[in-house]
Each structure stands twice: as structure tokens, then as C-alpha cells.
Structure 1
Amino acid sequence: MHLHFYENAIETILLIFLIITFLQSGIDKIKDWKGNLSWLTGHFSKSAFKNIVAPLLGVVTVVEISAGVLSLIGVVHLLLFDDKSFAFYGGLVSCLALLMLFFGQRIAKDYEGAKTIVIYLIPSVFLLFLLQ
């Protein structure tokens, strides 16, 4: 069996970046739900999201885990079959997760936090560009 790493090296590296980012983040949210919820409740206490932090945390967690899993499947399909479809969806869901996080930071008026998220968004968008 031939691995398609050479033809897809950049895409593979970017997908591994997304796997690490989103599986770690999603798993952390699940393992420390109370701690994350407590911190985010304070973070959004003066925003329009103050009464819906828990459901929003749930949505973000599901989207992050989905992004990580789709990226993982994407790496496997890219390397084994030279198939980019799952990789594309992994990148797309990753961008969605990052835009959700970016929006939340802007709503909370945490502009430094929002700028940090853009650092993650750039390689995610670049991945989508490469996979088209």
C-alpha cells in the first residue's frame, strides 16, 4: 500500500494541527466541565450570552470534537486513499468552531482573546484553500 504523504504533506501537517487543537480543547471541556462553565459564566457575565453559557458551551464542545474527529478521519483518508473530502470537512468545521469562539470573544469584549483565535483561523482557512 502506498501512503500519499509526499503529495499531501502540508495538508497532513495542518490537519494534525487541527486534531491536536480541537480534540485537546473538546476533551478538556468534557473533563473539566464545571471549571470551564464557571470561568465562562464570569467571562460572559456582562454580555448577551450571560443566561445561556451552559448550552453554548455544549454546542462549542460538540463542534470542537467534531472538528477534531473529522480532521483525524481526513488524515487517514488523505494518506491511505488520497481522498480530500473528510479533510475538507474537518477544516470547514474547524473554521466554524473558530468563528464561534471568535464571536464569543468579541461579544465578551475580550479583544486580545479574539486576536489570539485569528492565529488559529489563518492555517485553518489556508487548509481549505489547499483542499479545493
Structure 2
Amino acid sequence: METIQEYASELILLLFLALTFLQSGADKIFDWKGNIGWLKGHFLKTPFRNSVPLLVGFILALELITGIASLMGIYGILSSQNTSMAFWGALLGCITLLMLLLGQRVAKDYDGARTIVIYLMPTVFLLFLLQN
């Protein structure tokens, strides 16, 4: 119980990342064609237009790795107060979100970019908490 109290913020933020990225990854897996079809239209007038499936596959892999690393970070904190995997989950989360932000900016979807920043802020805060 002491560990939960000591690491409450980190655990909640790691759970936030795990839920966010694993759900997003699952959505891409279970509705690959729908996602690709929508994103091809979204990136039609960008330099990414011919690379959409490849880029979505890369983002999918990053999302799943980030979600799993976040879950492993929760386990590491709860089992031994080890924050190493939690740090990597947060760092990968920041990298993944920055890549998504780049995509939204290139597509000139500024509302979508703003939404990504909303996810990025708690992720950067988690990274800050785990640097100590």
C-alpha cells in the first residue's frame, strides 16, 4: 500500500498511457482497412500520401510497444519500486505522440494536432516525474 501512495501519480499516468495506446493499437488491428481508408484521404495532399499503410504500421507497432512498456512499468513499480520500464514507457509515449503530432501538422489538421498536445502534456509530466 505504501508503494501505491508513493507512486500514485506515476501509476495513474502509466495506466492512462497503457489504455490510450493499447486501445488505439487494437482499433488499428481490428479495423485496419477502415483506418487506412480514412487516413489515405486525410493525407491525400501531403508528402505522406503514398506511405500511409507503412506509416500506420510503424505507429501501430510503437503504440503497442508503448502500451506494453507502460503496463510493465506499472508492474515494475508495484513489485519492486523499479521505475526503469515506466521511464521507457513514458519516453516512447512522448516519441509516439510527437510522431502523431507531426502527421496532424503536415495534414494541416490543427484541431487534431491540438488534441495530440492534450495527450502529450500528461505524458511529458510523467517523464518528468520518472527522471528522479
After TM superposition, is the score higher than 0.5?
yes
Once the two structures are overlaid, the 10-residue window that deviates more, 104-113 or 3-12, is 3-12
Q: Deviations over 1:63-100 (max 9, x none)?
A: 00000000000000011100000000000001111001
- Check whether the contact 1:3–1:80 (CA below 8 A) recurs between aligned residues: no
SS in 2 for 1:4: helix
Distance 2:33 2:43 in 1: 15
Q: Which stretches in structure 1 are left out of the alignment for 5+ residues?
A: none
Q: CA deviation at 1:32?
A: 0.5
SS in 2 for 1:90: helix
SS in 1 for 2:7: helix
Aligned to 2:113: 114
- Check whether the contact 1:22–1:68 (CA below 8 A) recurs between aligned residues: yes
Aligned to 2:126: 127
Aligned to 1:105: 104
How many residue pairs get aligned? The number is 131
SS in 1 for 2:6: helix
Matches within 5 A, 1:1-132: 4-132=3-131
TM-score, normalisation: structure 2? 0.97
- Check whether the contact 1:3–1:79 (CA below 8 A) recurs between aligned residues: no
Q: CA deviation at 1:3?
A: 6.3
TM-score, normalisation: structure 1? 0.97
Q: CA deviation at 1:4?
A: 1.5
Q: Which stretches in structure 2 are left out of the alignment for 5+ residues?
A: none
Distance 1:31 1:81 in 2: 35
Q: What is the identity, as a one-letter code, of the residue corresponding to 1:47?
A: T
Calculate percent identity across the aligned residue pairs: 56
